[in-house]
Amino acid sequence: MTATKLPSPVIYGEVLFDKFEDGSAVLGGAPFNVAWHLHGLGLTPLFISRIGQDSLGDRILSGMNTWGMNTQGVQRDSQHVTGTVDIKLSNGQPDFTILPNVAYDHIAPDVAKKNINEQPTGIFYHGSLIAREKTSWQTLINLRQNLNWPIFMDINLRPDCWTYDQVNELLQGTRWLKINDQELTAITRGLNIASQSLDDMAQNLQDHYGIEAIIVTLGEKGAFITSQEQGVIKIDPVPVKNLVDTVGAGDAFSAATIAGLLHGWRFKEILEHAVIFAAAMCEQRGATVSDPDFYTNQKKNMDL
């Protein structure tokens, strides 16, 4: 089966600009990064989001068109601006301020559902930042309940942008969950299902919600998957020869995982390709790459 014959994954969530003190602005947002990577890997994702009727919104559409992405699911908003994150460095460490009440907080449900209904059933991806405001939260819940698509959630917890009640609701009905070790610890403790080891935490969370598989990323220590059918599978990290930055490595990991699920790979193979792709992104500047050759090489590594 070739990539062009695979169902189109639907990616729901934020697209924004990271704005730095020097005045530069870099396109990003975890769901957008995942959609960008999936397109680079030869799939045809439908990205559902909302941007302002402003210059930053124009730049987003221009970037997507240049990359050849489907822009059908990107709504325009005349009342709210395109999302941004202000980043300031303090002693070398970034401090993030996520602008509230922006366009991606107001994704219209009727338009989103219409666009998705035109796609063959594939995978529905989302995170948790998109749930911080009422409109996009209700749109997300409506889509999850009515579309009956298998759900891949990359939880991506952001400070002051989520609640345990929301997480509890989102975990119900999730088929695949990607989470890092710190998020796993925080959630299992907050939901009173924690245990001593990360393996047990993941398995307890999986059993509690009936999740098919939980993918836990461990940063420089690799990753593991706990699944109902294949048990616990661990993978060592791939050495990064020329580290540039780790921005977006987790989103690259998610994209490779989704590609693997759509291709029907077993979890061990998914993990192997995901850590390689994430490591390759660490040798690039920023969360996405505009060079088609980069993705051509990654597709060869994945035998796509």
- pLDDT reported for residue 94: 64
Is residue 173 a contact partner of residue 151, using CB atoms and an 8 Å limit? yes
Q: What is the CATH number of the domain that holds 52?
A: 3.40.1190.20
Residue 299 pLDDT more than 90?
Answer: yes
- pLDDT reported for residue 23: 83
For residue 302, being part of any structural domain is answered with no
Distance CA 156, CA 29 (A): 11
Distance CA 161, CA 182 (A): 16
- pLDDT reported for residue 120: 73
Q: Which residue has the higher pLDDT, 25 or 38?
A: 38
pLDDT bucket at 250, cuts 50 / 70 / 90:
very high
Is residue 209 a contact partner of residue 201, using CB atoms and an 8 Å limit? no
For residue 180, being part of any structural domain is answered with yes
* Token pair listed for 152: 């891949």
For residue 2, being part of any structural domain is answered with no
- pLDDT reported for residue 93: 59
**DSSP letters spanning 23-79:** S-EEEE-HHHHHHHHHHHTT--PEEEEEEESSHHHHHHHHHHHHHT-B-TTEEEESS
Residue 1 pLDDT more than 60?
Answer: no
Residue with tokens 């003190």: 21
Domain assignment of residue 23, given as a range: 7-296
**Phi, psi for residue 203 in degrees, rounded to 5:** -70, -40
pLDDT bucket at 227, cuts 50 / 70 / 90:
very high
Residue 245 pLDDT more than 60?
Answer: yes
For residue 304, being part of any structural domain is answered with no
For residue 232, being part of any structural domain is answered with yes
**pLDDT tens across 135-152, in order?**
999 999 999 988 888 999
Residue 3 pLDDT more than 50?
Answer: no
pLDDT bucket at 69, cuts 50 / 70 / 90:
very high
The number of folded domains in the chain is 1
**pLDDT tens across 88-97, in order?**
767 655 678 8
For residue 235, being part of any structural domain is answered with yes
pTM for the full predicted model: 0.93
What is the average pLDDT across 196-203?
92
For residue 188, being part of any structural domain is answered with yes
For residue 118, being part of any structural domain is answered with yes
